[in-house]
Structure 1
């Protein structure tokens, strides 16, 4: 719309500056042109170009377009924010899963699991407890991180 308005202004300016002539032919009809006729008397007419007006409908359309663009930009920013949060959560989850898998690998490599008592001394658990801890940890890794 704005481009069309500029184009009309550019086209109107040379026409008004070139000069406009008015003459009456032998049949009594009035004619206008940018060059005076050779075989008839003519008068140069000054044309006043009216300033392009912006009517209420055009202003309303422009306002709606601006509102639409603002809304679109806001929605894009919100989508980007949600995407960034999802990516951050996925990265955090992946880091946690890597730590759990590393701990699971460690549990598979050690022969015995111990706990610390109140005095800070190691107390090894029996084989049954050892297997139960490993089984529960494998289930936790599978539940939280998949296969």
Structure 2
């Protein structure tokens, strides 16, 4: 609790060259302030123990990070772009396969009439139609994940 109060007090107190004082009142409560207490209670100056809260080290930290993590080279950018294009192509092909499988399944669920190469009607039993529909459902599950 005391530490949280100290942190809160330090965040709210503008940072300057002012001293920070700590003292304990008659009831044993610890106080922090940039001014000494009016009742001349014994105080302890703690400014030297605190580190600056608003110091800007972002430039130095950024330089350190740049040294460790170099930016992408043109070759790496080109490679990553090719990889992304390839992934998009793969995704498009998968979507097309999925749509084809769904269309075939839709057809197999209804009345079906097949023709051979000579244009003659092939009669398909209900059992054979259901087997083909089941295979197409499995294909849809594979292509459409």
TM bucket by the smaller chain?
0.3 to 0.5
TM-score using structure 2 length: 0.46
| More helix, by proportion | 1
Larger radius of gyration: 1
TM-score using structure 1 length: 0.45
Higher relative contact order, structure no. (Cα contacts within 8 Å, ≥ 6 residues apart): 2
